[in-house]
Amino acid sequence: MATLSELARLGFLDLEGTIGKLDALVKKVGDSGRSAFAAISQAASPDQALNGLLDLSDIDVKAVKKLLSKQPSAERLILTIGASSALIDFLRRHPQSIALFEKETALPNREQLDAFFSPVVADIASTEAAWVGIRICYREQLLKIAAFDVTAKDSQAVMPGVAAALADLAGAAVEAGLKVARWELTALTDHGVFEASEVANTRLAVIAMGKCGARELNYISDVDVIFVAEPSGELESSRALEIATRLATRMMRAMDANAPEPALWQVDPNLRPE
């Protein structure tokens, strides 16, 4: 067992409580709790990693024990939750996602990310359900990207790829949100009465700017965009602009409106490029 001075050297802040918490972890998950100490001490916040393990063990001890039984999966879980309290909160809300740490994953490309979101918006039952589905899907993919990032041997070398994956993930979420918005305008009358053909003939491009447009997004940035719309077919330009405005507004709400699953980030159309 580490001494208080050793715990302090390793980055723990709750020195008095840590020893008791480590004992509690071993009681919950067995000897794998002891072997997890090395990864816990390497986390960005060892206290947060340990507290997160205890919380998640209370929710699904079998899943946590399985991950801790193997060093690679233990490191993916521990280093990720030691880096992000928001992802711990997500796992508390959706403990089934703990299993995502079982397998090592590569950074996804945009096509793969679009495929992950596709089932969420394939058969929409309600606006709220679709928003929740998009946000859960986003955070599940964020877990994988974060796990890849924090376990990389050379964090500087993988940084450009991680930033690009985060930008692609944001783009895929926006695309999914736009599909929900198109469904809303054709299936509901809450936001105006529009013919399905009118919505289909409204072309709307969401152009990523700033960090997202440069594919160097970070984990907690908003997404700067420019909207460009035009009609197709025989649709009047004024009608297309009206519909495009509603589509853009509803898409932004899919990202940041109140819902059972918390908001992702703000889509900001107010960037003023020089």
Tokens of 114: 């679009």
Give the closest residue to 28 by CA, choosing from 2, 66, 1.
66
Average pLDDT, the chain: 94
Please state the pTM of the whole predicted model. Answer: 0.94
- Mean pLDDT, residues 84-104: 97
Task: Kindly report which listed range (5-14, 52-61, 202-211, 238-247) carries the lowest average pLDDT score.
Answer: 5-14
| Distance separating alpha carbons of residues 42 and 45, to the nearest angstrom | 8
Q: How confident is the model at residue 273 (pLDDT cuts 50, 70, 90)?
A: low
Rounded Cα distance, 194 and 247, in Å? 11
Residue 210 zone, left/alpha/beta (φ > 0; ψ -120 to 50; rest): left
Which tokens in the block code for residue 97?
């996602």
Average the pLDDT over 161-169 and give the result. Answer: 98
Q: So what's the pLDDT on residue 272?
A: 64
Q: Examine the pLDDT at 274 and tell me if it is beyond 60.
A: no
The residue count of the chain comes to: 274
Confidence band, pLDDT 50/70/90 cuts, at residue 121: very high
Class of 110-268 in CATH: alpha beta
The residue-averaged pLDDT of 19-26 equals 92
Domain ranges of the chain: 4-101, 110-268
